[in-house]
Amino acid sequence: MKEIIAGVDEVGRGSLIGPVYAAAVILNNKIDKKKLKDSKKLTKKNRKMLEKYIKKNSRWAIASASLDEIEKLNILNASLLAMKRAIKKLKHKPSLVLIDGNKIPKIKNYRLKNVIKGDQKIPEISAASIIAKVSRDRLISRMSKKFNVYYWDKNAGYGTKDHILAIKKFGITKHHRKTFQPIHNILSHS
């Protein structure tokens, strides 16, 4: 019997705002795996086109861990929780789950394997990185409309120079991760 492989990746770990997202993807046989690359190496336009293509040609699930969960558990454990949720949401149980990075979530009765730089090597993980990134970017873009002084539509909440300057000038929002450096440092010096 052919092995059913799911790829899993998360996005938003290094961001200073909002939830962390994870996706789990099982590709079907018709998909052109050569089109799939690490989401960070694709333009925004290409990611959106590929997201539609992947969703049409795979079984997939997206999950997240909230800002509160990140603050309570820390970002690593929240990322693993989002991954676990995405894997569990898949309608078909994979025989092997390949996870980007050096850590794997604890899930009973699943065969899990981590792959360093998996988003660059494994098409299933690349696909997961693309749909997780596009999904999270959509949320951040909506949030950005209300908090446009932080330039989240351009920086996805990462600690760019413009974002840090905006935090110093306007303070933090309810979406900022207060336990993260540099926000923690800014708060403790104000």
Task: Answer yes or no: are the C-beta atoms of 24 and 110 closer than 8 Å.
Answer: no
Q: What is the pLDDT of residue 37?
A: 87
Pair of tokens at residue 107:
């899930």
Considering the chain, what is the average pLDDT of its residues? 94
DSSP sequence for 141-159: HHHHHHSGGG-HHHHTT--
In sequence order, what are the residues at sequence separation of 6 or more whose Cβ sits closer than 8 angstroms to the Cβ of residue 182?
16, 159, 164, 167
Query: pLDDT tens for residues 32-89?
Result: 999 998 888 899 999 999 999 999 999 999 999 999 999 999 999 999 999 999 999 9
Cβ neighbours around 130 below 10 Å, total? 31
Q: What is the pLDDT of residue 119?
A: 93
pTM of the model: 0.94
User: Distance from CA of residue 70 to its chain's centroid?
Assistant: 13
Q: What is the pLDDT of residue 4?
A: 95
Three-state secondary-structure class, residue 36: coil
Confidence of residue 1 (pLDDT cuts 50, 70, 90): low
Q: What is the pLDDT of residue 190?
A: 60
- Pairing mode of beta strands 96-100, 112-115: parallel
Provide the angle, in degrees to the nearest 10, between the axes of the packed helices 123-146 and 44-56. 120
**Of 38 and 91, more confident:** 91
Confidence of residue 24 (pLDDT cuts 50, 70, 90): very high
